[in-house]
Amino acid sequence: MTPDTRPDLLDLAPDEALTTLREWFDARGEPRYRAAQVFGRLWQRPVRGFDDITELPKPLREALAEAFRISSLELATRQQSRDGTEKFLFRLHDGQFIETVAIPDGDRMTFCISSQAGCALQCAFCATGAMGFQRNLTPAEIAGQVRELRLLDPPILPTNIVFMGMGEPLMNWKAVSPSLSLLNDARALGIGARHITISTVGVLPGIEALAARPEQFRLAISIHAPSDALRRTLMPVNVKYPLVDVIAAARTFDRRVTFEYVMLGGVNDQPAHAAELAQLARDCRAFVNLIPLHPGGAMGFTPTPTEDITRFAAAVRARGVEVAVRRSRGLDIAAACGQLRTERLGRRAPVAAETDRDVHVA
Ligand code: SF4
């Protein structure tokens, strides 16, 4: 089969897509407004293919389809939890699978999206880390998760986006950066920057790149252990990016940072840990989010009992730090990151995990 060489319009950030389309229409002697017309049908009022852009004359639709493509993600599984959380498993063109979770909460609808197929970082408590790294996603595959849910009947529209699905987003900055533009730009998906959160283990070049963007995107840092000694045992990435440097980066980030802290029974949930965590949070005025471990979500770990989480939160709060305990959602559908894919496919051998540890900062 000959490879499809047509550029995927969904891979281009808004300005680039509009320029590409304008040049194409110019070359054909067509009016320029056509470019905005086509672009509007990629993200705002999405269509599956050019043939569905019925406001364009048929010959023009056919010519567009010869020059470009509009990719799609194949929905492999859709599961709904009793609490309304929905989980989607998408099959990519090369057989990889990624997950997206839609979490309703009052008038909010948060999408938890993936940035890589698998993950190289192997955090000890994470199902995605256990399956190994497969590959980076493209912008079309990252922002495309949101597009696919908009294309459902009835559509699901997000108010908030969190990059907390599969993968470490700042290890794939080259694709995450244009994806942020697609999510945020009013001409594309139009989600406010303050409603888009990038969650990282603390990949420093990526944090710098995110800080350099003018939009007010939010940063969440997965701390999970308040000392280097403990964090190294849970998160191998701590060797490359130690806590002290991560905290320094959080301090210089010009917006308020959130610390994510998963509660692991008997591991990181003792009173001394609460005191250390509060100190780190105060150092950079961070907000602390305590995350109950999903039962069955991590081999070899047990969830901290609810009353101990409450006590831990009180100890952090007593030291002048704002703290919240995240509600577990989708417990009956294995909605913790990587769980559904692992259940369905089993584990795959990691591919190029070593070679792809580099941070791709555009
Ligand atoms: S917690 Fe995030 S960074 Fe760590 S292994 Fe899982 S997906 Fe990767």
CB 317 within 8 A of CB 309: no
DSSP letter at 327 equals P
DSSP letter at 214 equals S
Residues written for the chain: 362
Residue 1's pLDDT is 67
Closest C-alpha to 260, from 231, 302, 233, 240: 231
Given ligand 1 and candidates 98, 126, 224, 291, which is best to mutate, with the most ligand atoms within 8 Å of its CB? 126
**One domain for residues 39 and 161:** no
- Token representation of residue 141: 């595959």
- Closest C-alpha residue for ligand 1 atom 4: 123
| 4 inside domain | no
CB 172 within 8 A of CB 357: no
- Positions marked active-site: 99, 337
**Averaged pLDDT, 69-91:** 95
**d(C-alpha 280, C-alpha 288), whole Å:** 10
**d(C-alpha 17, C-alpha 131), whole Å:** 34
Residue 290's pLDDT is 96
**One domain for residues 119 and 85:** yes
- Closest C-alpha residue for ligand 1 atom 3: 168
Handedness of CA 278, 280, 284, 289 (dihedral sign): negative
**One domain for residues 181 and 246:** yes
Closest C-alpha to 260, from 218, 298, 228: 218
In Å, what is the CA distance from 110 to each residue of 101, 160, 196?
8, 5, 9
Task: Tell me how many domains the chain contains.
Answer: 2
pLDDT digits (tens, 9 = 90+) for 85-103: 999 999 999 999 999 999 9
Residues 6+ apart with CB under 8 A from 316: 274, 277, 278, 281, 288, 290, 323
Amino acid at 20: T
pLDDT digits (tens, 9 = 90+) for 214-261: 999 999 999 999 999 999 999 999 999 999 999 999 999 989 999 999
CB 22 within 8 A of CB 35: yes
* Position with higher pLDDT, 14 vs 338: 14
Residues 6+ apart with CB under 8 A from 66: 6
CA-based radius of gyration for the chain: 21
CATH number at residue 117: 3.20.20.70
**One domain for residues 158 and 192:** yes
Domain carrying residue 45: 9-67
Computed over every residue of the chain, the mean pLDDT equals 90
Using the predicted structure, report yes or no on whether residue 343 has a pLDDT greater than 50.
Answer: no
Strand partners, 135: 117
| 3 inside domain | no
Residue 297's pLDDT is 61
CA of 296 to the centre of ligand 1 (A): 16
Strand partners, 262: 291
pLDDT digits (tens, 9 = 90+) for 120-161: 998 998 888 788 899 999 999 999 999 999 999 999 999 999
Residue 330's pLDDT is 72
Split at pLDDT 50, 70, 90, the class of 295 is confident
Instruction: Establish whether the linkage from the previous residue to 154 is cis, with ω within 30° of 0.
Output: yes
| 304 inside domain | yes
154 C-beta neighbours (distance < 10 Å), count: 5
Ligand 1 atom nearest to CA at 129:
5
In Å, what is the CA distance from 20 to each residue of 47, 193, 217?
19, 25, 27
| 1 inside domain | no
Closest C-alpha to 18, from 142, 138, 181, 180: 181
Question: Which residues' Cβ are closer than 6 Å to ligand 1?
Answer: 119, 121-123, 126, 128-129, 166-168, 201, 337
**One domain for residues 119 and 225:** yes
- Token representation of residue 101: 């979770």
| 150 inside domain | yes
**One domain for residues 93 and 123:** yes
- Token representation of residue 322: 């704002």
**One domain for residues 36 and 165:** no
Ligand 1 atom nearest to CA at 126:
6
Ligand 1 atom nearest to CA at 164:
2
Residues 6+ apart with CB under 8 A from 58: none
**One domain for residues 231 and 95:** yes
**Averaged pLDDT, 167-174:** 97
| 161 inside domain | yes
CATH number at residue 22: 1.10.150.530
Tell me the HSE value of 178 on the side-chain side, using a 13 A CA sphere. 20
Q: What is the largest CA-CA distance in the chain?
A: 71
**One domain for residues 156 and 119:** yes
**One domain for residues 81 and 53:** no
Q: Which percentage of the chain shows pLDDT scores above 90? A: 82
**One domain for residues 60 and 199:** no
Given ligand 1 and candidates 101, 112, 115, 119, which is best to mutate, with the most ligand atoms within 8 Å of its CB? 119
**One domain for residues 56 and 110:** no
| 277 inside domain | yes
